[in-house]
């Protein structure tokens, strides 16, 4: 018997054992077909059974497929049972709120989660339909829940799905109520999943209580209250939910806050799990908002808003005077929002992450506001301070109202962007004009990113090792003033000079090494020249750090 035959026999045994415990006939049939396709189907089956999809601080996320290393009813049942058992072990009272988006499998995964929750003796409160993730994050505290689950893969490709978990006040405390889980909750839930017996022994109840529209109405009232009723509301806006679930909620929120309804990109307005008009349903991806910018030009809009498919992030585009539109970076939107709240006198701490622009720090220092920064991820930003006023991350995430929602929210962020844009329009100006004014006050902060995708994850470790072994002593001919290695808390290295900064880290969600670059230039009466110099410096910095890491740029 050859080694290959032995391996295939062992794989076949693993698959058959899984099939005996898989509650979903569709998944069982899928695996039987693959077994019939052996040995050609060997690599596919090997990948599906390389290990179980692990429960981390982002919950679960993976491809829709049968087997332990995928999103399917069996994996969801186990995750729900592990969560229910963990809540019981913690003595947490209250229901579990369950939300879901419009991706393939989302409704079925939500129903399965509800059956497990009710089977454990706990109430399951299920959202009335496919809704944005921020509605679920809001509901966990509004409804006094022990926890919440949102079935979504956010901006992942169409073939993926996922599972986010939020904590209520009892387990999350004042800072973590309505926020995503952080360690050690993730490892404890993972341990509870691993401790499960056969899936057939997990008690199942009914599909829970379907909530009515009041929870959405309460959310809309909350986000609309963030807008100043006395500020200008005249605004021509366009928007896209990018085939996700945010379109209707955004329109209702805009109207409730007093703005005219945005014109939606018709081909992307309704939920569509196949995302037919975008190669990758992420507003950050090149070309993702091309239809939105075309509509903005057609409509003569003041501002263009793009939500990601679960509407917890938003991107913004603005007219730039030559008939074209420019997509703002997450850092630029974050600075605009922070500036708005500061000018409104919103007291408290302003927070961002270690990879976002340092301009927020400069603004806080000059204007006398508290400042904090955290590791990447809103699970950390949400917990920075009891007096959190505003938080953002460069990856298009903004928390404009932490008093009722401690997570990123593309809907409420869109409202405040609209408030700023309407105020600018009232004085015959644009969002770009306000960015120019901020540059005159604080200097030009130009950011960029070096992102290297790898096939072998060990390459990332080798790059980080090279950086640590031979850190640069200068960047752009300026001496390094600070070198910070965040091990063991995080695999992150920061290198800083008087006017430049580089933050290197492995991606937390993709097989990528990322270097976040920033250069500051004084304006000196020549804003256009400062911007041109800053852009050139970022490109030069990209080449320098690529050489240090030993990667192409």
Whole-angstrom distance, CA of residue 229 vs CA of residue 204: 48
* DSSP β-bridge partners for residue 306: 240, 315
Query: Would you say 431 and 316 are in contact if contact means Cβ atoms under 8 Å apart?
Result: yes
Strands (E), 285-396: 303-307, 314-319, 325-327, 349-353, 370-374, 388-393
Whole-angstrom distance, CA of residue 274 vs CA of residue 215: 28
Whole-angstrom distance, CA of residue 170 vs CA of residue 301: 45
Q: How far is CA 1 from CA 6, 8, 45, 246, in A?
A: 7, 11, 21, 57
Catalytic (active site) residue 154: yes
Dihedral sign for Cα atoms in the order 154, 156, 158, 161: negative
Q: Name the active-site residue from 154, 237, 315, 414.
A: 154
Whole-angstrom distance, CA of residue 35 vs CA of residue 214: 48
Tell how strand 325-327 and strand 349-353 pair up.
unpaired
Task: Look up residue 211 and give its DSSP letter.
Answer: P
Indicate left, alpha or beta for 280 from its phi (over 0: left) and psi (-120 to 50: alpha): beta
Tokens representing residue 296 in the block: 């903005």
Whole-angstrom distance, CA of residue 453 vs CA of residue 343: 41
Catalytic residues: 154
């Amino acid at each position: 018997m050859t080694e290959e035959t032995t391996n295939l026999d062992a794989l076949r045994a693993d698959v058959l054992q899984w099939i005996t415990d898989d509650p979903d006939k569709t998944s069982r049939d899928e695996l039987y077909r693959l077994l019939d396709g052996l040995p050609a189907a060997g690599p596919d089956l090997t990948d599906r059974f390389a290990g179980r999809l692990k429960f981390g601080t982002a919950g679960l996320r993976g491809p829709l497929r049968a087997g332990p290393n995928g999103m399917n009813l069996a994996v969801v049942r186990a995750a729900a049972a592990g969560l229910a058992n963990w809540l019981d072990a913690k003595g947490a009272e209250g229901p579990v709120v369950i939300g879901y988006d419009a991706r393939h499998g989302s409704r079925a995964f939500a129903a399965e989660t509800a059956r497990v929750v009710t089977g454990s003796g706990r109430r399951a409160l299920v959202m009335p339909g496919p809704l944005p993730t921020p509605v679920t994050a809001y509901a966990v505290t509004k409804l006094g829940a022990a926890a919440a689950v949102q079935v979504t893969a956010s901006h992942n490709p169409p073939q993926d799905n996922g599972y986010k978990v939020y904590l209520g006040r009892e387990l999350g405390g004042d800072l973590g109520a309505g926020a995503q889980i952080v360690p050690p909750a993730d490892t404890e839930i993972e341990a509870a999943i691993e401790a499960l017996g056969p899936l057939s022994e997990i008690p199942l109840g009914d599909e829970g209580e379907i909530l009515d529209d009041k929870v959405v109405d309460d959310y809309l009232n909350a986000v609309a209250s963030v807008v100043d009723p006395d500020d200008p509301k005249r605004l021509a806006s366009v928007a896209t939910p990018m085939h996700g679930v945010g379109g209707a909620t955004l329109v209702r929120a805009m109207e409730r806050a007093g703005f005219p309804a945005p014109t939606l990109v018709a081909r992307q307005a309704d939920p569509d799990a196949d995302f037919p008009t975008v190669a990758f349903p992420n507003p950050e991806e090149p070309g993702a908002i091309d239809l939105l910018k075309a509509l903005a030009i057609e409509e003569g809009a003041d501002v263009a808003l793009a939500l990601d498919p679960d509407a917890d992030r938003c991107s913004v585009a603005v007219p730039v005077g030559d008939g074209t539109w420019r997509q703002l970076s997450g850092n630029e939107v974050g600075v605009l929002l922070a500036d708005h709240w500061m000018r409104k006198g919103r007291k408290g701490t302003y927070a961002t992450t270690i990879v976002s622009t340092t301009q927020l720090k400069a603004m806080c220092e000059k204007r006398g506001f508290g400042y904090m920064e955290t590791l990447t991820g809103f699970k950390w930003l949400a917990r920075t301070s009891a007096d959190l006023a505003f938080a953002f991350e460069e990856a298009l995430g903004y928390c404009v109202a932490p008093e009722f929602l401690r997570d990123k929210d593309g809907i409420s962020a869109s409202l405040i962007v609209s408030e700023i844009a309407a105020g600018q329009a009232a004085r015959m100006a644009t969002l770009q004009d306000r960015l120019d004014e901020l540059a005159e006050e604080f200097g030009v902060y130009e950011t960029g990113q070096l992102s290297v995708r790898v096939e072998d994850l060990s390459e990332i470790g080798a790059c980080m090792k090279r950086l640590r072994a031979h850190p640069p002593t200068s960047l752009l001919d300026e001496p390094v003033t600070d070198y910070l290695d965040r091990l063991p808390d995080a695999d992150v290295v920061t290198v800083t000079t008087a006017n430049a900064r580089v933050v290197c880290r492995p991606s937390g969600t993709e097989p990528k090494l990322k270097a976040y670059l920033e250069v500051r230039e004084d304006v000196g009466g020549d804003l256009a020249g400062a911007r041109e110099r800053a852009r050139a410096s970022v490109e030069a910095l990209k080449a320098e750090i690529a050489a240090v890491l030993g990667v192409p740029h």
